[in-house]
Amino acid sequence: MSFTTAHLFFEDLEIGREWLSAGRTITEADIVNFAGLSGDFNPIHVDHQFAAQTPFRRPIAHGMLVFAVASGLGVYCPPVRTLAFLGVREWHFRGPVFPGDTIRIRGKVTEKIVRGRGRRGEIVWFRQIVNQDDRVVQEGILITLVEARGSSSNGHAVTEETDS
């Protein structure tokens, strides 16, 4: 995929601005495929009889599967000229996701840090993964590196931060 004119640069992202992604339904096939890919065959995910005896009463999606799907949803929410995923400052798993649940991400820019003499910058995001009932199932702070237009006036790093 190449960037398009619709992809936002570092300068286009405003602190405090929020977005809501399209939805993606988690399927039983997603869970089985993720178990095979990751090697995580914990019975809470793949054994219906075992899961029936847990507080959830049925299998749940892997937390990291939900995180990965949300990462994909974030590519277009908003479409940004992302150069790299730099890190997770913190992440919390708040509730289960079941096969048939539809997740979305809510994202909000909380900090911007100019890097590379204005050619790029770090964006700090507060992201929430919500289900079809708008319940938060995961949330935390992620950091990405985003291409800038390269119009730094003095070449010095500038940090913008908010209290949120």
- From the options 1.10.490.20, 3.40.1010.10, 3.40.50.1820, 3.10.129.10, give the CATH code of 10-158: 3.10.129.10
CA distance 117 to 157: 7
The reported pLDDT for the residue numbered 150 is: 80
Number of other residues whose CB lies within 10 A of the CB of residue 35: 16
The reported pLDDT for the residue numbered 72 is: 95
pLDDT 10s digits, 122-159? 999 999 999 999 999 999 999 999 999 985 444 444 45
CA distance 113 to 105: 23
CA distance 14 to 37: 37
> Within the chain, where are the H helices?
28-38, 43-46, 48-52, 63-74
Angle, nearest 10°, between helix axes 63-74 and 28-38? 100
CA distance 93 to 133: 16
pLDDT 10s digits, 9-51? 999 999 999 999 999 999 999 999 999 999 999 999 999 999 9
Q: What is the residue extent of each domain of the chain?
A: 10-158
